[in-house]
Structure 1
Amino acid sequence: MDKTIFQTRSLQSDLAKLKVRAEGDSDKYIEGYFIVYNQETELWPGYFEKVAPEAVNNTLGNDIRALINHDTTLVLGRNKAGTLELKSDGHGLWGSIKINQNDSDAMNLYERVKRGDVSQCSFGFNVLDEEDEWRQDGTLHTTLRAIDLHEVSVCTFPAYEETGVQARHREIEKYKQKQIEIRKKKLKERLRNYGIKTDNVEQKN
């Protein structure tokens, strides 16, 4: 995958388990898993992707923000400011966002998560390293081995960022076409070795 393409991935509500926590009257938090490791997601029919546990090992020192719906103007927290805490464990990437009670957007979101009206999340990143596995049934399974994490988001309707997913789809289709051309070339060579004309090979394929 092109490492320059920014992408987002979403986590289903039953996996994210976002919740709120309050410490007295002063501190309020939104917490949960923004990434779950080794959980395959079907991005489109026949293509599956999962995040390896080591994928975030070298990225948590980045300047990472917590956003509302991936909106860079709606910042909930930032790890460099101590208002976003991120930890990687055996299950996934867990985050705790300290809510600014003077921020009406943040407080409104806190109450929506508390009521269960908002319960999903996403993360935004660039791919640094990935591993593809083509299986006998024709499906492709990709493991993200390393990512460059930029942000995590609490979302109303999390969705895959179209540009990144479409780019990946085009890349895979291009690869498939290349494999077809390679197979055609090999078939022609075998037929020539047996003295068979290859004029019709292209039409049959």
Structure 2
Amino acid sequence: MDKRHSYFKSELKTRAEGENDKYIEGYFAVFEQETELWPRCFEKIARGAFDNSIKNNDIRCLFNHDSGFVLGRTASKTLELKVDAYGLWGRVKINPNDSQAMDVYARVERGDISGCSFGFEPKGEDYEERDDGLHWTVNEADTMEVSICTFPAYPQTEIQARQKDFEVSQNRSREQRKIDLKKKLEGIRC
């Protein structure tokens, strides 16, 4: 299964506590809000989708999904993540001795950067075909990272990974319709 990224504009905030403690905080994901991935394809994150990851994974906070640009991590307690009724909230403690991290902090503080994302592998999802298109619900997201992003979306990257999921779902749906039709036809013969 392909790793996915989900993006949105957040209300990131900076906070200074004491002389050297600086934080960036905000929601990395919001529950039950559909996002149109591409025309006629929608996705939403269900409440509870992050519960296992929060308990079991050592999740990193990255800048622009760059694994070489780690801002914090849950194992070192420099990244705090929690789930509430609204979504996945996080707070990363910025290292004052890391000039790149301080640059990110300054850009968020000025409002130049306001995008958030998270990287995950779907472990449980439902899909439904409706008149307006295909709707996915991610019920469990094996979350590896959250990111503070310059751009809240990279459609060319997302479409490639999600297009494969869309094709698999279409084939699954087509096969199910064949099975249902076969059962109906067998019922008529009896």
Do Structure 1 and Structure 2 share a fold, with TM-score over 0.5? yes
- Percent identity reads 51
- In our comparison, the structure showing a higher alpha carbon Rg is 1
Question: In structure 1, which of residues 120, 123, 129 is the aligned counterpart of residue 118 of structure 2?
Answer: 123
User: Is structure 2 residue 129 aligned with structure 1 residue 134?
Assistant: yes
Offset of 1:158 from its aligned partner? 3.0
User: Is structure 2 residue 2 aligned with structure 1 residue 8?
Assistant: no
User: Is structure 2 residue 28 aligned with structure 1 residue 31?
Assistant: no
Partner amino acid, structure 1, of 2:94: I
Residue of structure 1 equivalent to 2:86: 91
TM-score by length of 1: 0.81
Q: Structure 1 CA distance, aligned partners of 2:126 and 2:182?
A: 27
Offset of 1:138 from its aligned partner? 5.0
Q: Structure 1 CA distance, aligned partners of 2:13 and 2:86?
A: 17
Offset of 1:118 from its aligned partner? 0.2
Q: Structure 2 CA distance, aligned partners of 1:142 and 1:176?
A: 13
Q: Structure 2 CA distance, aligned partners of 1:117 and 1:138?
A: 35
Question: Per the alignment, in what secondary structure is the counterpart of residue 52 of structure 2?
Answer: coil
Where in structure 2 are the equivalents of 1:1-205 lying within 5 Å?
4-11=1-8, 13=9, 16-61=10-55, 62-135=57-130, 137=131, 139-160=133-154, 161-162=157-158, 163-175=160-172, 177-178=174-175
Structure 2 unaligned regions, length at least 5: none
Q: Structure 1 CA distance, aligned partners of 2:135 and 2:163?
A: 16
Partner amino acid, structure 2, of 1:6: K
Structure 1 stretches of 4+ moved >2 Å: 158-164, 172-187
Deviation per residue, 1:94-113 (Å, 9 max, x gap): 00000001111100000000
- Which 10-residue stretch deviates more, 164-173 or 90-99? 164-173
User: Given that residues 8 and 164 in structure 1 are in contact (C-alpha distance below 8 angstroms), is that contact kept between their aligned partners in structure 2?
Assistant: no
Question: Per the alignment, in what secondary structure is the counterpart of residue 135 of structure 2?
Answer: strand
Offset of 1:186 from its aligned partner? 8.7
In the alignment of these two chains, the number of paired residues is 184
Partner amino acid, structure 1, of 2:34: E
Decide whether aligned partners of structure 1 residues 130 and 176 sit closer, same or farther in structure 2, where only a CA change above 3 A counts: closer
How well do the aligned residues superpose, as a CA RMSD in angstroms? 2.3
Deviation per residue, 1:117-165 (Å, 9 max, x gap): 0001100011111111222x15221111111110000000133543431
Q: Structure 2 CA distance, aligned partners of 1:69 and 1:35?
A: 15
Q: Structure 2 CA distance, aligned partners of 1:38 and 1:117?
A: 27
TM-score by length of 2: 0.87
- Which 10-residue stretch deviates more, 164-173 or 18-27? 164-173
Partner amino acid, structure 2, of 1:81: S
Offset of 1:34 from its aligned partner? 0.2
